[in-house]
Structure 1
């Protein structure tokens, strides 16, 4: 039986300032605004309904929603929300979604854009270290956005060892 799933359509990220986040993703990842679902003050958001749909903390207000598109890959839906009890972005050791990865062809350029846009890199690129992923030039590094979400930059120009034993393949933009 084939799966009804094709792949990731978009990821949703809650941000403290939608203008800052839009600027960051435009400059760091080459994203473009695809459309604006709701903007501050346009009255286009039913916070009660959204709160029930998303199971938001009581009293949360969504002030803006935008869909961005990456040059090649899934969309990024930004939600500017403000709540009575709001926590910082999750760390990799916390439960739930911890990061998303973008495939890059040039680490130096990707890192320069990421940091120029206000992001902070955790390390320089390192070789992919799991035996199933190793290969010449296969590498990764992590950084965080100005509001604390974690983003991985990854590249695997060489075949991975697991490919010798499986016909399944990782999706590659």
Structure 2
């Protein structure tokens, strides 16, 4: 089937401190800054246009924007914004985007980096239990960043059972 869609280009995350968030992604996931669209105290941002484009709450100011490259997969675009009526990140039970998953080869190393950088893990890695995902070594765990966004760490070295029944595949680095 032909489609004009290729995949996810990037994920946008609003953070309270762009320096802290950049360091977190660099330290934990080996992300690298590709470019800085807006730097703190920059004059190249039209707040009114951004409010209209992104439908920001009136009075919100964008302080900084950076695009990061992950070693594999989509990029991460960080937005530092400040304004009235900001809320904590959504809980997984709230409507809307609730987490993103990062494929890892070594849970212990990534968890050590995650917690050392100020993140908090919810659990230790545990086996994937849905019948379509089970397999030797297939595992996951969740944690949250210092600013509260939920991140899943996942690995599936063994082919998943669903692969026997369809030619469609999940993305894997």
Q: TM-score range by the shorter chain?
A: over 0.9
Aligned to 1:96: 96
1:3, 1:142 → 2: CA distance?
Answer: 32
Per-residue CA distance 1:22-78 (angstroms, 9 max, x = gap): 011100111111100000112111110000000000100001000001111111000
**Is the counterpart of residue 9 in structure 1 residue 26 in structure 2?**
no
Whole-Å Cα distance in 2 between the matches of residues 28 and 158 of structure 1?
Answer: 24
- Superposed, which structure 2 residues align to 1:12-51 within 5 Å? 12-51=12-51
How far apart, CA to CA, are the structure 2 residues paired with 1:42 and 1:51?
17
Q: How many residues align?
A: 173
Q: Deviation of residue 96 (structure 1)? A: 0.2
Taking the aligned partners of 2:106 and 2:37, their CA distance within structure 1 comes to 33
Q: Which runs of 4+ in 1 moved over 6 A?
A: none
**Which sections of structure 1, spanning at least 5 residues, go unmatched?**
none
Structure-2 separation of matches of 1:114 and 1:39:
26
Residue 64 of structure 2 is matched in structure 1 by 64
Aligned-partner SS, 1:115? helix
- Give the TM-score, by structure 1 length: 0.98
State the secondary structure of the residue aligned to 2:94.
coil
Q: Per the alignment, in what secondary structure is the counterpart of residue 151 of structure 2?
A: strand
- Superposed, which structure 2 residues align to 1:80-95 within 5 Å? 80-95=80-95
Give 2:133's aligned residue. 133
RMSD: 0.6
Instruction: Give the structure 1 partner of residue 108 of structure 2.
Output: 108
CA distance in 1: counterparts of 2:164 and 2:14, whole angstroms: 40
Secondary structure at the aligned position of 2:49 is classed as helix
Partner of 1:117: 117
Cα distance in 2, alignment partners of residues 42 and 54 from structure 1: 19
Name the residue aligned to 1:144. Answer: 144
In 1, the alpha carbon distance for the partners of 2:71 and 2:169 equals 22
Return the offset for 1:83. 1.1
Q: Secondary structure at the match of 1:102?
A: strand
Deviation readout 1:137-156 (Å, 9 max, x if unpaired)? 00000000000000000000
